[in-house]
């Protein structure tokens, strides 16, 4: 049973880079057919797809965030990471990592518990 755990600073200063890591346990990040995703939820709002990455390193980003986002994968550590640059208060959100089934389905089958990141000086 794959489990995901987000980690990273809960407080980031404006204009800095937000960095989060998702550790995958109970399975390999290199399993074919799955993409590793980041999704965020602003306080009291809906879900927003940030992007996802395949174990090979191919990444897809939300066009509205693409200029500020980098998602990377470390297969040796069974982790994937999110970097969001030039953050502002508008980036304050709960960030979820997730395992996405691709190809024949395109859906999330495992969610992390989420981590709250606040952007404030």
Partner 1 sequence: QTVVTQEPSFSVSPGETVTLTCGLSSGSVSATYYPSWYQQTPGQAPRTLIYSTNIRSSGVPDRFSGSILGNKAALTITGAQADDESDYFCVLYMSGGSWVFGGGTKLTVL
Could you list the residues that contact partner 1 (CB under 8 A)? 39, 46-49, 52, 60-64, 96, 101, 104-109, 111-114
Which phi-psi region, left, alpha or beta, contains residue 68 (left: φ > 0; alpha: ψ -120 to 50)?
Answer: alpha
Residue 88 or 106: which CB sits closer to partner 1? 106
Residue 16 or 49: which CB sits closer to partner 1? 49
| Residue 106 Cβ vs partner 1, minimum distance, rounded to whole Å | 4
Residue 16 or 21: which CB sits closer to partner 1? 21
Rounded distance between C-alpha atoms, residue 34 and residue 73, angstroms? 13
| Residue 115 Cβ vs partner 1, minimum distance, rounded to whole Å | 11
| Residue 98 Cβ vs partner 1, minimum distance, rounded to whole Å | 9
Radius of gyration for the alpha carbons in the chain, expressed in angstroms and rounded: 14
CA 62 to chain centre: 12
Rounded distance between C-alpha atoms, residue 29 and residue 36, angstroms? 8
Q: For 27, which DSSP code?
A: S
Residue 75 or 94: which CB sits closer to partner 1? 94
| Residue 67 Cβ vs partner 1, minimum distance, rounded to whole Å | 15
Residue 112 near residue 4 (C-beta atoms within 8 A): yes
């Amino acid at each position: 049973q794959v489990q995901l755990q987000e980690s990273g600073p809960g407080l980031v200063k404006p204009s800095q880079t937000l960095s989060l890591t998702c550790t995958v346990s109970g399975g390999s990040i290199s399993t074919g057919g799955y993409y590793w995703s980041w999704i965020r939820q602003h306080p009291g709002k809906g879900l927003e797809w940030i992007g996802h990455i395949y174990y090979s390193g191919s990444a897809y980003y939300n066009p509205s965030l693409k200029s500020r986002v980098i998602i990377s994968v470390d297969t040796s550590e069974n982790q994937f990471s999110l970097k969001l640059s030039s953050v502002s208060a508008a980036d304050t959100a709960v960030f979820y990592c997730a395992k996405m089934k691709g190809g024949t389905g395109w859906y999330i089958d495992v969610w992390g518990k989420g981590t709250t990141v606040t952007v404030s000086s």
